[in-house]
Amino acid sequence: MTMEPIPDHAAKQQMDEQLNQNEQLRREQEKQLRFILDAAPVFIAQCDKNYRLRFVNKTYADMFGFRPEEMVGRRIPDITGEEAFSLFRKYVDAALAGKAQEHETKIPFQDAGERHMHMMHVPERDERGQVHGLITAISDITRLRNTEEKLHRREQDFKTLVENSPDGISRIDRNRRHVYVNPAVGAVSGLQAADYLGKTKAELGLPPGLVRAWDAATDAAFETGVEQRFDFEVSSNGRTSYFSACVIPESDRDGHIESVLGITYDVTERTKMEKEHDLLLARERTARILAETAARARDEFLAIVSHELRAPLNGIQSWAHVLENYVKDSVAAPLAQRALTGIKTGIAQQVRLIEDLLDVTRMMSGKMRLVKQPFTLLPVIQAAVESVRTIAAAKHIGITCTYQITTEQIDGDTDRMQQIVWNLLSNAVKFTPQDGNVWLTAAVRHSQILITVRDDGVGISPDFLPHLFDRFSQEDTSSTRGHSGLGLGLFLVKHLVELHGGSVKAESQGEARGTTFSVCLPLRTGRDKNIPATQAGEAGSNFGALPSLAGLHILLIDDQEEARESLAFVLGAAGANVFSAASSSEAFERLSGTGREKLPDILVCDIAMPVEDGYSVLRKIRAWKSDDGLAPLHRLPALALTAFAQREDRIRALTAGFQMHMAKPVAPEELIVVIAMMASRG
């Protein structure tokens, strides 16, 4: 079969269509290639041997602020500048010579500053293999290099810090092996830092206890992801060093813990200081306990001394009262009357001395307390003046008082305020010779009450004046001194005045020129409350007609025979039926055979007694039951008559159930008045 030839025009048409298709495909490929090149983050350019650009991608053009078509046909130096081009020209020339190049260069840009560029230059050859240009691919690695630089600086800083740190720092992997150790670690173990690398602490031959502590903390840090802390000590050459360690987990970006950081701190000095501090605290605690024990022993001793001194005085005072009633005619028995007066004066001085000793003890131990309340000051001053007139009269010393106050008040303790004035007046009388004078004034000065006590006595030398208010301070301490006393009165005055918020000072022109004491007390301006001050001691000094105790049955319990017998005689002379006993057992023997009509109406009981004290006696007597099973004395009024005379003792007695508390030695007249009052209330 013979093929018919295709007409020429048909073949030509078919070829044209094929060419069109090929051209369209080529254009599509060029378009895609251009899109890829423009989208690439790499700067791509093509140039000839004269550095004239034949192609640039959009990224390259954007770098210099042009459109791609504006850069084609221009030379590279015209775009980058001669200075920048000179930095990489040798690499371009080498590529145009036929050798591919790759390098990094810092290129300055006018707007972006200096940039790190990674450049690749590839020769472009024709069909004959001749180089007619090159293709350049450039990557901006500025951020990468800056990051590397920062990391490098940080690594250097970390290395400098860690290598020179006084603390031991190590990195440990999951197999407990050391991957890094700084030099300070060697100071702890005595090994070189290089000896640690790749080894566990057990392989290093460290003490087993230390190895166990480190391994336990390391395992716990890997398991929990929480920092671990522990302490350990190392002994070497007879010296013990103390360390504190922490193990810190190190996590990667995904949170996986691949290693831990061990840090060891030398806390030897701190530990020693803490131990010394603990030792000092223990010593201080021991010293405080010893001091408190000594203070308690001192207080107990003084309380016993006070009791033992007061108790005999009570019998002396009671027997003096008995003798006074028997010797009433001062003309017939002047010597006896004088003797009785001397006995009473001695008792009063002894009681005052005991009180001063106890007050000083309270002040030294910080237990001195005032019962403060607003009161009118003038009656208190007048009562103090009256209490020393007898002493002054015995030396023919005149006391002149000038009062420029009337109803002015202060906040304070009336008893302590009277003690202040009494001490100043008695001190003035004591150091003023026969036929001398004492002056007292009280006036308001600048919202204060000023009390001055002046005498024309022996005066004070300038050298001794600064020590006048010190305790146990006396200008003349020789065995031939002309005045008695312990030097406590002015010490008490100063502290009592300061407890009232005031001040006291002394002035003297010298020996034989008298002395002036000035007391300033804050004046109370408000008058919403006014508690009149009682004139203490007035009742005791002038009782008038004493009440009769006729018909009263009094149970008197006191272990001291002299005190018991003298008080029984005094109360019996006042009309009372007194049964005295040395103990509760003796009292119960009497009560068991006593009819109801003769049971005691009043109990007068000592506190400090052998076997059992007055508190126990009171409880037993009130709980005592008669033969009919009743407790007839369960509300028996009770008076505590004791040589324990401090305020705490009075409070304890009243709390224990006593209705009254009286301190030995007690004035017999006052005792009779108090018992009569209790009986009337009962």
Mean pLDDT, residues 125-142 taken together = 89
User: Using an 8 Å Cβ cutoff, are 575 and 676 in contact?
Assistant: no
Burial 605-620 (b: 16+ CB within 10 A, else e): bbbbbeeebbbebbee
- pLDDT of the residue at 306: 67
pLDDT at 533 exceeding the cut of 60: no
User: Using an 8 Å Cβ cutoff, are 199 and 175 in contact?
Assistant: no
Tally of CB atoms within 10 A around 182: 21
- pLDDT of the residue at 36: 67
Residue of 466, 494, 468, 521 whose CA lies nearest to 363: 494
- Give the count of alpha carbons within 13 A of 484, CB side only: 4
Q: How far is CA 239 from CA 168, 236, 244, 271, in A?
A: 19, 5, 17, 14
pTM of the model: 0.44
- Hey, which CATH number is domain 22-146, 3.40.50.2300, 1.10.8.420, 3.30.450.20, 3.30.390.50? 3.30.450.20
Say which DSSP state 253 is in.
T
Mean pLDDT, residues 661-680 taken together = 86
- pLDDT of the residue at 120: 92
- pLDDT of the residue at 402: 94
CA distance linking residue 365 with residue 549, whole number of Å: 43
- Give the count of alpha carbons within 13 A of 243, CB side only: 24
CA distance linking residue 643 with residue 655, whole number of Å: 17
CA distance linking residue 379 with residue 386, whole number of Å: 10
Lowest mean pLDDT among 134-143, 548-557, 587-596: 587-596
Percent of the chain with pLDDT over 70: 81
User: Using an 8 Å Cβ cutoff, are 498 and 346 in contact?
Assistant: no
User: Using an 8 Å Cβ cutoff, are 388 and 425 in contact?
Assistant: yes
Residue type, 551: G
How does residue 328 score in pLDDT terms, banded at 50, 70 and 90? low
pLDDT at 460 exceeding the cut of 80: yes
- pLDDT of the residue at 191: 82
What are 567's two structure tokens?
Answer: 């008080």
- pLDDT of the residue at 480: 34
The CATH number of 369-534 is 3.30.565.10
Strands laid side by side in the 53-56 sheet: 53-56, 43-48, 131-140, 113-125, 101-109
Tally of CB atoms within 10 A around 515: 23
Lowest mean pLDDT among 130-139, 409-418, 441-450, 544-553: 544-553
Lowest mean pLDDT among 77-86, 180-189, 604-613: 180-189
- pLDDT of the residue at 223: 92
CA distance linking residue 30 with residue 381, whole number of Å: 125
| 165-266 belongs to CATH 3.40.50.1100 | no
Say which DSSP state 177 is in.
-
pLDDT at 79 exceeding the cut of 80: yes
**Reported CATH class of domain 541-681:** alpha beta
What are 62's two structure tokens?
Answer: 């954007």
User: Using an 8 Å Cβ cutoff, are 379 and 533 in contact?
Assistant: yes
| DSSP β-bridge partners for residue 437 | 398
| DSSP β-bridge partners for residue 118 | 104, 139
Q: What is the pLDDT of residues 382-425, one digit of tens each?
A: 988 988 888 888 889 999 999 999 999 999 888 888 889 988 99
Torsion of CA 613, 617, 619, 625, to 10 degrees: 160
Comma-separated ranges of CATH 3.40.50.2300 domains in the chain: 541-681
CA distance linking residue 414 with residue 530, whole number of Å: 13
pLDDT at 531 exceeding the cut of 60: no
- pLDDT of the residue at 366: 61
Q: Which helix (H) or strand (E) holds 203?
A: none
Q: What is the pLDDT of residues 151-207, one digit of tens each?
A: 888 878 777 777 778 888 889 999 999 988 888 887 777 788 888 889 998 998 888
CA distance linking residue 44 with residue 137, whole number of Å: 5
User: Using an 8 Å Cβ cutoff, are 682 and 602 in contact?
Assistant: yes
Burial 80-96 (b: 16+ CB within 10 A, else e): beeebbeebeebbebbb
Comma-separated ranges of CATH 3.30.565.10 domains in the chain: 369-534
- Give the count of alpha carbons within 13 A of 105, CB side only: 20
What are 602's two structure tokens?
Answer: 């009043």
For 580, the 3-state DSSP assignment is strand
The verdict on whether omega for the bond into residue 665 sits within 30 degrees of 0, i.e. cis, is yes
- pLDDT of the residue at 560: 84
Tell which wins on pLDDT, 14 or 555. Answer: 555
- If you average pLDDT over every residue of the chain, what do you get? 81
What are 396's two structure tokens?
Answer: 């023919």
Residues 6+ apart with CB under 8 A from 190: 236
- pLDDT of the residue at 333: 67
Describe the crossing of helices 614-623 and 584-592 by its angle, rounded to 10 degrees. 20
- pLDDT of the residue at 345: 66
- Sort strands 257-266 and 373-376 into parallel, antiparallel or unpaired: unpaired
Residue type, 452: T
Q: How far is CA 160 from CA 62, 155, 191, in A?
A: 43, 8, 21
CA distance linking residue 188 with residue 234, whole number of Å: 8
Comma-separated ranges of CATH 3.30.450.20 domains in the chain: 22-146, 165-266
- pLDDT of the residue at 541: 43
Q: What is the pLDDT of residues 266-314, one digit of tens each?
A: 888 888 888 888 888 888 888 888 877 877 776 677 667 666 666 677 6
Describe the crossing of helices 268-326 and 668-681 by its angle, rounded to 10 degrees. 90
Burial 356-388 (b: 16+ CB within 10 A, else e): bbbbbbbbeeeebeeeeebbbbbbbbbbbbebb
Strands laid side by side in the 577-581 sheet: 577-581, 553-557, 602-605, 638-642, 660-663
Q: What is the pLDDT of residues 483-522, one digit of tens each?
A: 444 557 788 888 889 888 999 999 988 888 889 999 999 9
Locate all alpha helices (DSSP H) within 327-434, ordered by sequence.
334-364, 377-394, 414-430
pLDDT at 331 exceeding the cut of 90: no
Tell which wins on pLDDT, 576 or 3. Answer: 576
- Sort strands 437-445 and 448-455 into parallel, antiparallel or unpaired: antiparallel
Residue of 249, 282, 427, 448 whose CA lies nearest to 440: 427
- pLDDT of the residue at 29: 65
Percent of the chain with pLDDT over 90: 22
Describe the crossing of helices 561-573 and 268-326 by its angle, rounded to 10 degrees. 40
pLDDT at 477 exceeding the cut of 90: no
What are 443's two structure tokens?
Answer: 């006036």
- pLDDT of the residue at 24: 73
Q: How far is CA 616 from CA 117, 182, 657, in A?
A: 107, 78, 11
